[in-house]
Chain A
Amino acid sequence: MNALEFIIAGMLAAATPFLLAALGEMVAERAGVLNLGVEGMMALGAVIAFIIVYHGGGHLLGFLAAGLASAALSLVFAVIALGFRANQVAVGLAIGILGQGLSALFGKTYESLTVKGLPKLSLPWLSDLPVIGGLFAQDVVVWLSLAATVAIWAIFAFTKTGLVVRAVGENPKAAHALGYPVIAVRFAAVAFGGVLAGFAGAYAAVVYTPLWADGMIAGRGWIAIALVVFGTWLTSRIFLGACLFGAVSLASLAAQATGLDVNSQLLSSLPYIVTIVVLGIISSNRRLLKLNGVASLGEPFEQ
Chain B
Amino acid sequence: MSALSLRFLPVLVRREHASLAIKLLAPPVALGLATLLNLGLYLLMGRDPAAVFRAMLLEPFLSWASFSEVLLKMGPLLLIAQGLAIGFRAKVFNIGAEGQFILGAIFASAIPIWLPQATGQWIWPSMLVLGALGGAFWASLTAFWRVRLNANEILVSLMLALVAAQLLNYLLLGPWKDPAGFNFPQSVMFQYDAMVPILIPGTRVNVSLLIACALSLAAWLFMQKSFAGYKLQVGGLAPRAAGYAGFNEGRAIWISLLIGGFAAGLAGAAEVAGPLGQLQRSISTGYGYAAIIVAYLGGLHPIGIVFSALLMAALYIGGDNAMVSANLPVAAVRVFQGSLLLAYLVAIAFVRYRLEWRHAAQGSAP
Rounded to whole Å, the gap between the CB of B149 and the closest CB of chain A is 4
**Is there contact, CB below 8 Å, between A229 and B154?**
no
Residues in A neighbouring B329, C-beta threshold 8 A: 104-105, 108
Q: Please tell me if B269 contacts chain A, counting CB pairs below 8 Å.
A: no
CB-based A-B contact count at 8 angstroms: 157
**Is there contact, CB below 8 Å, between B296 and A90?**
yes
* Residues in A204-229 with C-beta less than 8 Å from chain B: 214, 218-219, 222-223, 225-226, 229
Complex alpha-carbon distance, A159 and B306, angstroms: 53
**Is there contact, CB below 8 Å, between A84 and B366?**
no
* Residues in A57-112 with C-beta less than 8 Å from chain B: 76, 80, 83-87, 89-91, 93-105, 108
Residues in A neighbouring B155, C-beta threshold 8 A: 222, 225-226, 229, 275, 279
**Is there contact, CB below 8 Å, between B332 and A90?**
no
Q: Please tell me if A265 contacts chain B, counting CB pairs below 8 Å.
A: yes
Q: Please tell me if A269 contacts chain B, counting CB pairs below 8 Å.
A: yes
Q: Please tell me if B293 contacts chain A, counting CB pairs below 8 Å.
A: yes
Q: Please tell me if B150 contacts chain A, counting CB pairs below 8 Å.
A: yes
Complex alpha-carbon distance, A76 and B37, angstroms: 14
A77 (CB) vs chain B CBs: closest residue: B342
**Chain B interface: which size bin?**
35 or more
Rounded to whole Å, the gap between the CB of B161 and the closest CB of chain A is 9
Stretch binding the partner chain, chosen from A6-14, A143-151, A282-290 = A282-290
Which of B159, B293, B346, B364 meets A84, CB within 8 Å? B346
Residues in A neighbouring B348, C-beta threshold 8 A: 86
Interface of B is mostly: helix
**Is there contact, CB below 8 Å, between B342 and A95?**
yes
Rounded to whole Å, the gap between the CB of B354 and the closest CB of chain A is 12
**Most chain B beta carbons < 10 A, residue from A80, A229, A281, A286:** A80
Residues in A neighbouring B160, C-beta threshold 8 A: 272, 276
Stretch binding the partner chain, chosen from A116-124, A177-185, A231-239 = A177-185
B340 (CB) vs chain A CBs: closest residue: A94
Complex alpha-carbon distance, A104 and B337, angstroms: 14
Which of A103, A265, A280 meets B145, CB within 8 Å? A280
Which of A94, A222, A289 meets B341, CB within 8 Å? A94
Which of B4, B145, B151 meets A184, CB within 8 Å? B4
Rounded to whole Å, the gap between the CB of A39 and the closest CB of chain B is 9
Chain A residues with CB under 8 Å of chain B are 36, 40, 76, 80, 83-87, 89-91, 93-105, 108, 176, 179, 181-184, 214, 218-219, 222-223, 225-226, 229, 263, 265-266, 268-269, 272-273, 275-276, 279-281, 283-284, 286, 289, 302-303
The 3 closest A-B pairs by CB, nearest first: A98-B338, A101-B334, A104-B331
For this complex, 7 residue pairs linking A to B, each with C-beta atoms less than 8 Å apart, are A94-B339, A98-B334, A101-B334, A101-B336, A105-B329, A276-B156, A276-B159
| A90-B345, A105-B331, A284-B149 given; 16 more Cβ-contact pairs under 8 Å | A85-B12, A86-B349, A93-B95, A93-B292, A94-B341, A97-B338, A181-B4, A184-B4, A219-B162, A226-B155, A269-B163, A280-B151, A281-B149, A283-B149, A283-B151, A302-B14
